[in-house]
Amino acid sequence: MLRAGREAPDDAISLLSPKRILAVDDSPTYLHALADQLRDEGYDVAQATSGEEAIDLLAVQHVDCILLDRLMPGLSGAETCARIKAAPVVRDIPLIMLTSLEGRDAMIDGFSAGADDFISKSSGLDVLKARVQAQIRRKQFEDEHRSVREQLLRTEHEAAEARAARELAETRAALVEQLERTNRELATANRELADSNRKLAIANRELEAFSYSVSHDLRAPLRAIDAFTRALDEDAGDRLDPPSRNHLRRVLAATGQMSDLIDALLALSRISRAQLVRAGVDLSKTAAAVIDELRRRDAERNVEVIIEPDLRCCADGKLMRVLLDNLLGNAWKFTSKCAHAEIQFGWQQRDDRAIYFVRDNGAGFDMAYASRLFQPFQRLHRPSQFEGTGVGLATVQRIVERHGGRVWAEATPGEGASFYFTRA
């Protein structure tokens, strides 16, 4: 069994340092050949001939990536993968499942067990090396991002403790009426507070720059996967059987989804940094343009859309377009299973305040989970039901907050949802 007491690897390990790979295969011939090839590429390789041996080895040794044969006697590759991914101490190690089978069921079985990637043994060393490098790089980015986030939290905690200590000092000084000493301490406290705020602002900028850099760095391997897959489809697509063509389409769909997620993260980052330029905005015209674009992309759908005319406000026009792109796009998406889809954009007056809304009669959601709606990467529906990145509503909330407003939602499962927003 895997032991939780083993120390986790140092998050600061460089990408350039030697990486240790655990290769697991019941065929000694293939295992030794694979290990020799990997060592020629500069990797340190540990070997195991069974799932049980691999689990025992992981309990005492750190590895950076696992290459696991799917079909093995005793504990199968899928069972071994499931046990590794269930152990907190090692579940984040990238795991690539190897198989001699090309079938769709084998791939689904591997990913269902928790594998991070799936490669046919016939793919060749170049493909295997590229996949291993991509998985190790992904894990490195995650570790570095977590380290920056933890440092930010520590900075915030230290700032909070410093403020509490200063407040206590000021209270004690006031009680003993030592005005002159209190004034000196207050001046020092202000300087320290300004310095803490400056450091916190720097940390926030560094975290934002790091996220932006990570998103850009992820594009390179993603573009390579997409380009080579398309090249394979163009060069050999007519010689592939239907299941193989389907595999190619699934790869292209996955790269498209990852590209959309990166775009969403970059958009969220830009919205946080962009200068707010307020001017008169025709929201009705903007909403109509969004709907026209949705109809062009999905011309087969017949959706009844009601847009209240002459809705205007003073806001940033570009950000309002992004906001309506997300809200109306969600309404369009979540009404896709309705026989008669209806979407409405309008406004209402409450306490002398204009409240704008987007309403639909689509899938809706359980209000018990409403608090998760506007958190990044939080989704209330499975990807198999409705695709998406989980960043859109977080973007909407960021835009509304930058305009000094508030956003909320009301819904009933199966009956639709209404999203409301205000502005200052």
pLDDT tens digits for 239-298? 888 888 788 788 877 777 667 666 666 666 666 666 778 899 999 999 999 999 999 988
352, burial (CB in 10 Å: exposed 0-12, middle 13-18, buried 19+): exposed
For residue 148, what pLDDT is reported? Answer: 86
| CATH pick for 20-123 out of 3.40.50.2300, 3.30.70.270, 3.90.1150.10, 3.40.50.720 | 3.40.50.2300
Helix H or strand E segment including 260: helix 242-273
For residue 388, what pLDDT is reported? Answer: 61
> C-alpha distances in angstroms, 262 versus 2, 22, 129, 160, 273?
35, 30, 24, 33, 17
Comparing 378 with 183, the larger pLDDT belongs to 183
Helix H or strand E segment including 236: helix 179-236
Comparing 237 with 190, the larger pLDDT belongs to 190
**Distance (Å, whole) CA 318 – CA 99:** 49
- pLDDT level of residue 417 (50, 70, 90 thresholds): very high
Note whether 18 and 41 are within 8 A (CB): no
Range scoring the smallest mean pLDDT among 117-121, 163-167, 231-235: 231-235
For residue 202, what pLDDT is reported? Answer: 73
Average pLDDT, the chain: 83
Range scoring the smallest mean pLDDT among 95-104, 127-136, 185-194: 95-104
For residue 252, what pLDDT is reported? Answer: 76
Comparing 221 with 390, the larger pLDDT belongs to 221
Would you state the structure tokens that stand for residue 187, as one six-digit string?
């001046």
**Distance (Å, whole) CA 183 – CA 396:** 45
Interval 182-206 mean pLDDT: 78
Structure-token match 């306490």, residue found: 351
Helix H or strand E segment including 353: strand 353-360
Pairing of the two strands 416-421 and 353-360:
antiparallel
pLDDT at 173 over 80: no
- pLDDT level of residue 8 (50, 70, 90 thresholds): very low
- pLDDT level of residue 1 (50, 70, 90 thresholds): very low
pLDDT at 47 over 70: yes
- pLDDT level of residue 319 (50, 70, 90 thresholds): confident
Note whether 26 and 72 are within 8 A (CB): yes
Highest mean pLDDT among 13-17, 106-110, 260-264, 272-276: 106-110
pLDDT at 4 over 80: no
| Range 279-421 classified under CATH 1.10.10.60 | no
DSSP 177: T
Q: Tens digits of per-residue pLDDT, 367-389?
A: 888 888 887 766 666 666 667 66
Q: Tens digits of per-residue pLDDT, 341-361?
A: 999 999 998 888 899 999 999
Strand partners, 304: 342
Closest by Cα among 308, 313, 394, 303 to 353: 313
For residue 3, what pLDDT is reported? Answer: 45
Note whether 268 and 395 are within 8 A (CB): yes
Burial 93-130 (b: 16+ CB within 10 A, else e): bbbbbbbeeeeeebbebbeebbbbbbbebeeeeeebeb
pLDDT at 102 over 70: no
Comparing 121 with 281, the larger pLDDT belongs to 281
Cβ count within 10 A of residue 149: 14
For residue 10, what pLDDT is reported? Answer: 47
Cβ count within 10 A of residue 134: 20
pLDDT at 124 over 90: no
DSSP 96: E
Note whether 398 and 271 are within 8 A (CB): yes
Which amino acid, 112?
S
* Domain range summary for the chain, segments of one domain joined by +: 20-123, 136-273, 279-421
> C-alpha distances in angstroms, 270 versus 143, 264, 314, 319?
24, 10, 21, 10
Cβ count within 10 A of residue 383: 10
Please report which residue ranges of 336-391 form alpha helices under DSSP H.
none
Whether the model pTM is above 0.75: no
